[in-house]
A and B are shown apart, each in its own frame.
Chain A
Amino acid sequence: NAGVTQTPKFRILKIGQSMTLQCTQDMNHNYMYWYRQDPGMGLKLIYYSVGAGITDKGEVPNGYNVSRSTTEDFPLRLELAAPSQTSVYFCASSPQKPGSPLHFGNGTRLTVT
């Protein structure tokens, strides 16, 4: 029972490089999310999706892009990495039911230098 799987676990990028953080879930959840967690801070929502082909901005979307071509996958793209994007990124999914808890992956720790 894999749940939510994120790859890679760690990555170091140089300023201006690009990369894609991968996220896949095997629970057939319609809703998927990307959060980032900065040191000493809570999780802030970057983007979310309520189903394949539908995405929307969260609280901190600048510098990121997402796509949702299948129910299972929700990749997060960084086009021009900046030091401010150094963070731990968490992907999550939930069923389409109000109040349902989110199921999180184990995160990707990204450092931009």
Chain B
Amino acid sequence: DQQVKQNSPSLSVQEGRISILNCDYTNSMFDYFLWYKKYPAEGPTFLISISSIKDKNEDGRFTVFLNKSAKHLSLHIVPSQPGDSAVYFCAASDQGAQKLVFGQGTRLTINP
């Protein structure tokens, strides 16, 4: 039972363009959503988060959008840079549980 799904295993984007990574979830109790970035041979690092009371959160080049009715969130990276090439994980947690459930990850490649 995959509660958090990232249906695109990989994505290739031209440098300078927008990268859009998608994530779907099934558990309506989830109230915090986070994106992590992972480089090879390193642990995941926190990128940006959003709580269920918001529908958008922005941090520099990164914006996360949440559509609760569709149980869908997306991460937009504008403009995309070569250093953004990494695996991106979507994660979610429910009230007070403090346990993150992760998606399978999407490998983003930024082409020069």
Contact with A along B77-110 (1 / 0, CB 8 A): 0000000000001000101101111111100000
Name the B residues within 8 Å of A43 (CB-CB). Answer: 44, 89, 100, 102
Which residue on B lies nearest to A42, using beta carbons?
B102
| Interface check A53, CB cutoff 8 A | no
Chain A contacts to B: CB under 8 angstroms = 4, 31, 33, 35, 40-45, 48, 50, 58, 90, 92, 94, 96, 98-107
Given A99-B51, A103-B46, do A42 and B89 touch, yes or no (CB 8 Å)?
Answer: yes
Name the A residues within 8 Å of B95 (CB-CB). Answer: 98
A33–B100 Cα distance when bound, in Å, is 10
In contact, A101 and B46 (Cβ under 8 angstroms):
yes
Name the A residues within 8 Å of B43 (CB-CB). Answer: 4, 90, 92, 104-107
In contact, B98 and A31 (Cβ under 8 angstroms):
yes
Name the B residues within 8 Å of A96 (CB-CB). Answer: 98
In contact, A50 and B42 (Cβ under 8 angstroms):
no
Which residue on B lies nearest to A90, using beta carbons?
B43
In contact, B99 and A98 (Cβ under 8 angstroms):
no
| Interface check B29, CB cutoff 8 A | no
A105–B100 Cα distance when bound, in Å, is 16
In contact, A42 and B32 (Cβ under 8 angstroms):
no
A94–B100 Cα distance when bound, in Å, is 11
**3 tightest CB-CB pairs across the interface, nearest first?**
A104-B43, A101-B46, A42-B102
Name the A residues within 8 Å of B99 (CB-CB). Answer: 33, 45, 48, 58
Which residue on A lies nearest to B51, using beta carbons?
A99
In contact, B105 and A90 (Cβ under 8 angstroms):
no
Name the B residues within 8 Å of A98 (CB-CB). Answer: 31-32, 93, 95-96, 98
